[in-house]
Amino acid sequence: MIFNRLFSSLVFVAFLWNPAFAQSSKKALKYMVATANPVASQVGYDILSRGGNAIDAMVGVQLMLNLVEPQSSGIGGGAFLLFYDAKRKEVTSFDGRETAPLKAKGDLFLKEDGGPLKFFEGVVGGRSVGTPGTLKLLEVTHKNFGSLPWRELMQPTIKLAEEGFRVSKRLAASVERDAKRLKTFPATKSYFFLDSDTPVPEGTLLRNPDFAKTLRLIAAEGSDPFYYGEIARDIVRTVQEAKGNPGKLSLADLRNYWVIERQPICHDYKQYQICGMGPPSSGALTIGQMLGMLSHFNLRDLSPNGLNFTHLFAEANQLAFKDRGLYMADSDYVDMPTEGLLDPEYLEMRSKLIDPSKASGNLSAGSPPKALSYQLSPDMSLEFPSTSHFAIVDAQGNAVSMTTTIENGFGSRLMTRGFLLNNELTDFSFRPEQNGRLIANRLEPGKRPRSSMSPTLVFNAKGELHMAVGSPGGSRIIPYVAKTLLGVLEWNMDIQDAINLPNLAKNFGTLDLEAETPAEQLKAELEQRGHKVSVRSLTSGIQGIVVSSGGLVGGADPRREGLVLGE
Cβ(194)–Cβ(204) below 8 Å: yes
Report residue 519 CA to chain centroid gap.
Answer: 24
CA gap 123, 347 in Å, rounded: 36
CA gap 182, 117 in Å, rounded: 20
DSSP 270-333: TTEEEEE--TTB-HHHHHHHHHHHHTTS-GGGS-TTSHHHHHHHHHHHHHHHHHHHHH-S-TTT
Interacting residues of 29 by C-beta distance below 8 A, sequence separation 6+: 551, 552, 567
β-bridge mates for residue 282, sequence order: none
Alpha helices (runs of H) in 78-118, residue ranges in sequence order: none
**R_g (Cα) of the chain, nearest Å:** 22
124 closest CA partner among 416, 473, 421, 447: 421
Give the CA diameter of the chain: 63
287 closest CA partner among 142, 154, 401: 401
Question: Among 99, 387, 404, 456, which one carries the catalytic annotation?
Answer: 387
3 state DSSP class of 510: strand
Cα→Cα distances 465→234, 402, 404, 498, 545, Å: 42, 16, 22, 18, 10
410 closest CA partner among 131, 62, 126, 178: 178
Interacting residues of 347 by C-beta distance below 8 A, sequence separation 6+: 289, 292, 293
CA gap 152, 497 in Å, rounded: 36
Cβ(181)–Cβ(121) below 8 Å: no
β-bridge mates for residue 470, sequence order: 543
By CB neighbour count within 10 A (0-12 exposed, 13-18 middle, 19+ buried), where does 115 fall?
exposed
The bridge status of strand 26-28 relative to strand 32-35 is unpaired
β-bridge mates for residue 94, sequence order: 81, 261
379 closest CA partner among 304, 324, 335, 456: 324
* Residue 286 bears catalytic tag: no
Cα→Cα distances 200→157, 192, 203, Å: 20, 6, 8
CA-based torsion, 347, 349, 352, 354: positive or negative: negative
Interacting residues of 213 by C-beta distance below 8 A, sequence separation 6+: 417, 418
Catalytic positions: 387
